[in-house]
Structure 1
Amino acid sequence: MSSNRGVAYAGPGRVEVIDIDYPELVLKDGPGVNPANVGRQVPHGVVLKVVATNICGSDQHMVRGRTTAPTGLVLGHEITGEVVEKGRDVEFLEVGDLVSVPFNIACGRCHNCKSGKTGICLNVNPDRPGSAYGYVDMGGWVGGQAQYALVPYADWNALRFPDRDQAMAKILDLTMLSDIFPTGFHGCVSAGVGVGSTVYIAGAGPVGLAAAASAHLLGAAVVIVGDLNKERLDQAHSFGCEPVNVADGDPRDQIEQILGVPEVDAGVDAVGFEARGHGGGSAAREAPATVLNSMMDVTAAGGAIGIPGLYVTGDPGAVDDAAKEGALSIRIGLGWAKSHAFTTGQCPVMRYHRPLMKAILHDRVQIAKAVNATPITLENAAQGYAAFDKGAAHKYVLDPHGLIGSA
């Protein structure tokens, strides 16, 4: 049996690369595994040799200690890999296939999956609808920031790349299909972005940058990106976005300077529950409802707001007791008065990943360049997490077997 190494949460602010079990076609007990899932047989699964696996802002929330994640939880839900073993019930994948894995695990059998709502599958997480690899309260499926990973319901979940050599040549782009590219795209589609739209995207982290690239792909006329981090705003500006530094104050006035009017057609919240107030100094303290309220302020009446940014039901480090349970002071009356539409929740990756794959393979988008994809070794994961936490304008891609460098 092969050995395996993975990135594990080691307490607030810390991750460690440790020896972990090589995947078998059964879900075993371990940190974060729901007891009702222990022993679950996975004859429909495959074992992947991980080619690329990315550090995500959602992982960073856990590593900061902002969730109830247990120590020892193996992290990582953005997985691209090569099939090295398949279960007896896998019909349409073969050993050697190179595949992208949606971060949300779906059975393909329940009502929600059959309706295309793969982000809220009813059968993979005993706690609630929806599941993901390596994430707190998501059923306990082991994370993919590792050398090898198990993927259940593989015929349904995995997206096979049609040509291995072509895929490896674009692997830094294709690895974004597991999460942030579809997630950013979903935020824009939910917000009604189309040809000629004006768009405001809050957050210039990887999801915000992916949303900005998606807005361009969808035909937006002007894409405005707001953040407190100048380096990340410079990254957004590098591919044609209009940057707004919210450290300078409310984005409404800056939007008016760009557009001539203080409102946009569509808004995307790519920040989530660790949002900070607008303005410099003490004004930039954590204020988790800030982005949602500003979105309602700057989105025109009749517009829509996509919310791919993560919001949680349990946040031990929140600024007040209400926020610790996910209860925020939202100006819902403003949204109601302006007839806004809101779309929240996990992106149903399978709705988008195949057409986005084609857009990458046929050079319609350069998503790796937009998010500044930066490969690092698995053993350097802790340094990647630390740099990302400090606001580095990079999307760190872990390369567990050195295959990205060789490509």
Structure 2
Amino acid sequence: MAGNRAVAYEGPGKVDVIDIDYPTFELKDGPGVNPANVGRQVQHGVILRTITTNICGSDQHMVRGRTTAPTGLVLGHEITGEVVEVGRDVEFIKVGDIVSVPFNISCGRCRNCKERKTGVCLNVNPDRPGSAYGYVDMGGWVGGQSQYVLVPYADWNLLKFPDREQALEKILDLTMLSDIFPTGFHGAFTAGIGVGSTAYIAGAGPVGLAAAVSAQLLGAAVVIVGDLNPERLAQARSFGCETVDLTKGEPQDQIEQILGVPEVDAAVDAVGFEAHGHGKDSGKEKPATVLNSLMKVTAAGGALGIPGLYVTGDPGAATEEAKVGSLSISLGTGWAKSLSFTTGQCPVMKYNRQLMMAILHDKVQIAKAVHAQPISLEDAPRGYAEFDAGAATKYVLNPNGYLKD
């Protein structure tokens, strides 16, 4: 039997690469595993040899100690792989298939799945709707920053690439289909961005950059990206975005300099609960800053897409209210302007096939836009540290040597 190396959370600020068990078609006990899931049979699943698995900003929230994640939790929800074993009940996925794994685990059988709300599946997490690999309070499914990983409900969950050679050639783009590209697209789409729109994206990390690419794909006339990090703003400009430097203050004045008016048609929050203030407060954490600023800069009747992560348990928050996800949001502003809001996990399966086709037919270069950089699995601690320090890079782990130097 093959060995299995994986990246695990080992306490605030620390990850390590450890040996774990090779997966089987039965859920075992372990860090973060819901007791009700222990012993669960997964004959509807497959085992993948991981081709690529990415470091995500959502992982960083856990690694910073900003969630209730237990030590020893194997990380990783952005997975692309080759099928090496299939469970007894798998009918259509075959050994040798190259596949993308949506980060949200869904059963395909419950009411929400049948309504394409796969981010809030009712059957995969005993605690609450919705689940994901390697993530706190998400049912305890083992993460995919590993050499091998189990994927349940394989016929339903997996997106099979039509041609192996083409998939491996474009793998740095296709690896973004597991999360950040659909998530960014979801933010842009639910904000109502379309042909001729003016759009503001808060945050120039990988999800924000993916949202900016998606806004362009949807036909936006102008895409403006705001951030505090000059390297990430430069990355946004590299593919045609306008930018706002939030160290200089609130975005309205800079938006007006670009558009002639201080408002946009649509806005996306790609920052989430670790947001910092703007201008003189740019060094201070103020978790409601982005949501409140987006309500100010979005024109009446517009919409906000909010793929940025917000949590109900944040032990590192500055206030008691924020520790349970209660933020000082100016809902009155949103109400007065008749703004629409869409929050929560992206239902990846709603978008991933269409985005795959855009990649395969050269309509988008998402890996270039987010500055994808492959590194080895053993280099994961370095990747986490550099990403946490603000690197304008999307780190792609290469656990089994599919990507050549």
TM-score scaled to structure 2, two decimals?
A: 1.00
**2:221 maps to what in 1?**
221
Q: Which amino acid aligns with 1:112?
A: N
Distance 2:102 2:190 in 1: 19
**Could you report, residue by residue, the CA deviation over 1:175-219 in whole angstroms, capped at 9, with x for unpaired residues?**
000000000000000000000000000000000000000000000
Report the alpha carbon displacement of residue 284 of structure 1 after superposing the two structures with TM: 3.0
**2:305 maps to what in 1?**
306
Q: Which amino acid aligns with 1:263?
A: E
**Could you report, residue by residue, the CA deviation over 1:300-339 in whole angstroms, capped at 9, with x for unpaired residues?**
0000000000000000000100000000000000000000
**1:332 maps to what in 2?**
331
Q: Which amino acid aligns with 1:276?
A: H
| Matched ranges for 1:227-242 at <5 A | 227-242=227-242
**2:155 maps to what in 1?**
155
**2:140 maps to what in 1?**
140
**1:402 maps to what in 2?**
401
Distance 2:146 2:2 in 1: 13
Distance 2:109 2:178 in 1: 21
| Matched ranges for 1:58-137 at <5 A | 58-137=58-137
Distance 1:190 1:70 in 2: 33
Distance 2:346 2:93 in 1: 24
**Could you report, residue by residue, the CA deviation over 1:74-104 in whole angstroms, capped at 9, with x for unpaired residues?**
0000000000000010000100000000000
Distance 2:283 2:241 in 1: 23
**Could you report, residue by residue, the CA deviation over 1:333-387 in whole angstroms, capped at 9, with x for unpaired residues?**
0000000000000000000000000000000000000000000000000000000
Distance 1:217 1:283 in 2: 31
TM-score scaled to structure 1, two decimals?
A: 0.99
Distance 1:404 1:364 in 2: 23
**1:166 maps to what in 2?**
166
**Could you report, residue by residue, the CA deviation over 1:207-261 in whole angstroms, capped at 9, with x for unpaired residues?**
0000000000000000000000000000000000001110010100000000000
Matched, 1:360 2:333: no
**1:45 maps to what in 2?**
45
What is the root-mean-square deviation of aligned Cα atoms in Å?
0.6
Runs of 4+ in 1 over 6 A off after TM superposition: none
**1:316 maps to what in 2?**
315
| Matched ranges for 1:338-349 at <5 A | 338-349=337-348
**Could you report, residue by residue, the CA deviation over 1:161-182 in whole angstroms, capped at 9, with x for unpaired residues?**
0000000000000000000000
| Matched ranges for 1:23-42 at <5 A | 23-42=23-42
SS in structure 2 at match of 1:318: coil
Distance 1:344 1:380 in 2: 33
Matched, 1:381 2:401: no
**Could you report, residue by residue, the CA deviation over 1:376-401 in whole angstroms, capped at 9, with x for unpaired residues?**
00000000000000000000000001
Q: Which amino acid aligns with 1:195?
A: V
Q: Which amino acid aligns with 1:355?
A: Q
Q: Which amino acid aligns with 1:56?
A: C
Report the alpha carbon displacement of residue 404 of structure 1 after superposing the two structures with TM: 1.2
**Could you report, residue by residue, the CA deviation over 1:260-298 in whole angstroms, capped at 9, with x for unpaired residues?**
000000000000000000014x44300000000000000
Distance 1:405 1:222 in 2: 37
Report the alpha carbon displacement of residue 405 of structure 1 after superposing the two structures with TM: 1.4
Q: Which amino acid aligns with 1:337?
A: A
Distance 2:327 2:39 in 1: 38
Distance 1:283 1:207 in 2: 20
SS in structure 2 at match of 1:155: helix
Residues 238/347 of structure 1: CA separation in 2 closer, same or farther (3 Å cut): same
Q: Is the 2:177–2:355 contact (alpha carbons within 8 Å) kept by the matching residues of 1? A: yes
Residues 283/162 of structure 1: CA separation in 2 closer, same or farther (3 Å cut): closer
Distance 2:74 2:282 in 1: 36
Distance 1:331 1:186 in 2: 24
**2:259 maps to what in 1?**
259
**1:197 maps to what in 2?**
197
Distance 1:163 1:283 in 2: 47
**1:176 maps to what in 2?**
176
| Matched ranges for 1:267-282 at <5 A | 267-280=267-280, 282=281
SS in structure 2 at match of 1:18: strand
Identity of aligned residues (%): 78
Distance 1:169 1:243 in 2: 32
Gaps of 5+ in 1: none
Q: Is the 2:27–2:40 contact (alpha carbons within 8 Å) kept by the matching residues of 1? A: yes
Q: Which amino acid aligns with 1:343?
A: T
Q: Is the 2:54–2:78 contact (alpha carbons within 8 Å) kept by the matching residues of 1? A: yes
**1:5 maps to what in 2?**
5
Report the alpha carbon displacement of residue 12 of structure 1 after superposing the two structures with TM: 0.2
Q: Is the 2:246–2:282 contact (alpha carbons within 8 Å) kept by the matching residues of 1? A: no
SS in structure 2 at match of 1:321: coil
**1:292 maps to what in 2?**
291
Q: Is the 2:228–2:282 contact (alpha carbons within 8 Å) kept by the matching residues of 1? A: no
Distance 1:383 1:251 in 2: 33
Distance 1:383 1:223 in 2: 32
Gaps of 5+ in 2: none
Q: Which amino acid aligns with 1:29?
A: D
SS in structure 2 at match of 1:267: strand
